[in-house]
Structure 1
Amino acid sequence: MIECAGLRVDRGGVTVLDGVDLRVRQGEWVAVVGPNGAGKTTLLHALAGLVPSTGTVTVAGHDPGRAARRAMSRAVALMPQRPVVPEGVSVAELVALGRTPHLPRFGTETGRDREVVEAVIERLDLSGLARRQATELSGGELQRVVLARALAQQPRVLLLDEPTSALDIGHQQQVLDLVQGMRAEDGIT
Structure 2
Amino acid sequence: MEELHAMGWLNGLTIAAITATSWPERKNYTAQRYIELAELIAERWQSQARLLLIGGVADSSGIRITTEDPRRHVQVLHLDGVSADHLVNLFPRCQLVVGNDTGLTHLAAMARGRDGGGPPVVGLYARHSHSKWRTGLPHHHAVATDLSDRMHQGDLCPVRDAIAPNTDIHMNAFPPVALAEICVELLNRVAP
Q: TM-score range by the shorter chain?
A: 0.3 to 0.5
Normalised to the residue count of structure 2, the TM-score between the two structures is 0.32
What TM-score, normalized by structure 1, do the two folds share?
A: 0.33
Larger RCO: 1 or 2 (CA < 8 Å, sep 6+): 1
